[in-house]
Amino acid sequence: MNYTTQMDAAKKGIITEEMKIVAKKEGMDIDILRKRIAEGKIVIPANKNHKSLNPEGVGEGLRTKINVNLGISKDCYNIEKELEKVKGALEFNVEAIMDLSSYGKTEEFRTRLVDMSPAMIGTVPIYDAVGFYDKELKDITAKEFLDVAHKHAENGVDFITIHAGINRETAEVFKRNRRLNHIVSRGGSLIYAWMELNNEENPFFEYYDELLDICEKYDVTLSLGDACRPGSINDATDASQIKELMILGELTKRAWERNVQVMIEGPGHVAINEIKANVLIEKKLCHGAPFYVLGPIVTDIAPGYDHITSAIGGAIAASNGADFLCYVTPAEHLRLPNLEDMKEGIIATKIAAHAADIAKNIPGAKQWDYEMSKARQNLNWEKMFNLSIDEEKARRYRKESTPEHDDSCTMCGKMCSMRNMNKVMKGKNINILREDD
């Protein structure tokens, strides 16, 4: 039986190879997985032209996935340096890489990325449009915007961020409800500017059916972008954000009618006490579609530490049902991240995702922590290193400060609770001031 997309196959009762791989990775019954894909609650972004892909699922009942943003810009145009970051990200087994390239030979970087990456690849086609056509934003036509999306799909990207929810109706709500930080989404601001400069409707909204034709042809997952995401906690959960989310819910249903898979992108900067409500609203208004969040960043005052502010928000969001976390690095709001920034962002986001998976009772999540606790009680340093989310750093810290006794560390020495309780529980004496008997 033929099928066009993973969703089409799922609706027809077909089990694809990608479904088999994801079900095995997740320990999920394959019929449950297929049913949730058919319902739109799980997506498997898998472009037909991405031959090196090792498929992953995103959505209800699956491990929380993480994404790394990379790409070349006018100020930092070095393809080889960005490809080094790609290799580093893949070594950390990230599930997704988004190419946010916005200058120069973007197709060269994008195609090399797709060829080398087993992780799913995402892009934001509007970033590429100005350079692709060598035109000012105002002069790009609606058809040309769609043609760039088609080129990215043809190149093999698995999901594309499209800001289709910032239509003229949403724009009017935005104008009536002024914000502290206006529209902070780069793609959203470009679309809004194009609409204002040309007095036209958002081309991705107006020609949404043509966009769905592209996605259906290559089985590209639509990541419906949050143009009105808040860029400060002051603007979170406001009229513009919610209005756009309502539009995205309608666009989700239209995509599902065409068997196009959909993720919904979310905020942004959100105070801790509003995160749970944001997840609930998205799941309600967008009919259970997987939720892909940037952070959320829980306070605006920590430039240089936003991998921490976002990990806090990401853990809370995912524990309440968000499915996919976009990493944030220490360089957020400051500059293009370097290799070390990327690593810190990945680790922080992986910690947030794992912490959420424990709360969501994802199969196997707690077992990792159980094995670490067991190794600590046994003072099995080698196993502790092997189980560490960042083994290199754990080993380095231990090596930098060597204890007198191998069964302790330089924090507690012979007062180590693990060491002493092991002895007491076996009926042995504890010598803290003297050598052991």
Answer yes or no: do 322 and 418 share one domain: no
pLDDT at 374 over 90: yes
Answer yes or no: do 346 and 392 share one domain: no
pLDDT at 88 over 90: yes
Answer yes or no: do 23 and 124 share one domain: yes
The answer to whether the annotation marks 187 as part of a ligand binding site is yes
Across the chain, which distance is largest between two alpha carbons, in Å? 86
Answer yes or no: do 390 and 405 share one domain: no
Answer yes or no: do 413 and 317 share one domain: no
| SS3 category, 162 | strand
pLDDT at 74 over 80: no
Which is it for the CA torsion 191, 192, 198, 203, positive or negative?
positive
Separation of CA 122 from chain center: 10
The answer to whether the annotation marks 416 as part of a ligand binding site is yes
Strands 65-70 and 58-59: unpaired
Torsional class of 113: left (φ above 0), alpha (ψ -120 to 50), beta (otherwise) = alpha
pLDDT at 230: 98
pLDDT at 436: 65
Element (H, E) at 221: strand 221-224
Q: Which of 68-77, 340-349, 405-414: highest mean pLDDT?
A: 340-349
What average pLDDT does range 150-158 have in this prediction?
98
Read off the tokens for 173.
């709500």
The answer to whether the annotation marks 98 as part of a ligand binding site is yes
pLDDT at 351: 98
Answer yes or no: do 315 and 330 share one domain: yes
If one compares 13 and 132, the residue with the highest pLDDT of the two is 13
Answer yes or no: do 16 and 116 share one domain: yes
Measured between alpha carbons, how far is 206 from 193 in angstroms, rounded to an integer?
A: 16
pLDDT at 103 over 80: no
pLDDT digits (tens, 9 = 90+) for 107-152: 988 999 999 999 999 999 999 998 888 899 999 999 999 999 999 9
Instruction: Compute the mean pLDDT over every residue in the chain, rounded to the nearest whole number.
Output: 95
pLDDT at 220 over 80: yes
pLDDT at 80: 86
> What's the Cα-to-Cα distance from 282 to each of 38, 277, 295, rounded to whole Å?
19, 9, 15
Residue whose pair of structure tokens reads 């180590």 in the numeric block: 416
The answer to whether the annotation marks 127 as part of a ligand binding site is yes
Contact status, residue 365 vs residue 325, Cβ threshold 8 Å: no
CB within 8 Å of 181: residues ≥ 6 apart? 230, 231, 232, 234, 235
Answer yes or no: do 59 and 127 share one domain: yes
**Domain of residue 39, CATH code:** 3.20.20.540
The answer to whether the annotation marks 269 as part of a ligand binding site is yes
Read off the tokens for 179.
């914000």
Q: Which domain holds residue 434?
A: 401-437
pLDDT at 437: 56
What average pLDDT does range 391-406 have in this prediction?
91
The answer to whether the annotation marks 333 as part of a ligand binding site is yes
The answer to whether the annotation marks 229 as part of a ligand binding site is yes
What average pLDDT does range 340-352 have in this prediction?
97
Q: Which neighbouring-strand residues pair with 96?
A: 67, 120
Answer yes or no: do 267 and 389 share one domain: no
Torsional class of 71: left (φ above 0), alpha (ψ -120 to 50), beta (otherwise) = left
The answer to whether the annotation marks 228 as part of a ligand binding site is yes
Residue 155 belongs to some domain of the structure = yes
339: nearest Cα among 325, 348, 349, 329: 329
pLDDT at 59 over 60: yes
Residue 86 belongs to some domain of the structure = yes
pLDDT at 73: 76
Answer yes or no: do 159 and 95 share one domain: yes
Measured between alpha carbons, how far is 289 from 10 in angstroms, rounded to an integer?
A: 15
The answer to whether the annotation marks 227 as part of a ligand binding site is yes
pLDDT at 321 over 80: yes
pLDDT at 433: 81
Residue 226 belongs to some domain of the structure = yes
Domain tally, the chain:
3
The answer to whether the annotation marks 412 as part of a ligand binding site is yes
If one compares 83 and 234, the residue with the highest pLDDT of the two is 234
Q: Which amino acid is at 316?
A: I
Contact status, residue 330 vs residue 363, Cβ threshold 8 Å: no
What average pLDDT does range 14-27 have in this prediction?
98
Residue whose pair of structure tokens reads 């491990």 in the numeric block: 63
The answer to whether the annotation marks 163 as part of a ligand binding site is yes
If one compares 15 and 135, the residue with the highest pLDDT of the two is 15
pLDDT at 1: 65
pTM, whole model, 2 decimals? 0.95
Separation of CA 392 from chain center: 24
What average pLDDT does range 242-267 have in this prediction?
98
CB within 8 Å of 376: residues ≥ 6 apart? 384, 418
pLDDT digits (tens, 9 = 90+) for 350-366: 999 999 999 999 999 99
pLDDT at 388 over 60: yes
The answer to whether the annotation marks 150 as part of a ligand binding site is no
pLDDT at 174 over 90: yes
The answer to whether the annotation marks 215 as part of a ligand binding site is no
333: nearest Cα among 242, 261, 269, 424: 269
Answer yes or no: do 208 and 62 share one domain: yes
Which of 28-42, 72-86, 143-157, 412-426 shows the lowest mean pLDDT across its residues? Answer: 72-86
Q: Which neighbouring-strand residues pair with 69?
A: 98
Answer yes or no: do 437 and 298 share one domain: no
The answer to whether the annotation marks 69 as part of a ligand binding site is yes
CB within 8 Å of 107: residues ≥ 6 apart? 151, 155
pLDDT at 275: 98
What average pLDDT does range 17-37 have in this prediction?
98
Which of 33-37, 149-153, 231-235, 417-421 shows the lowest mean pLDDT across its residues? Answer: 417-421
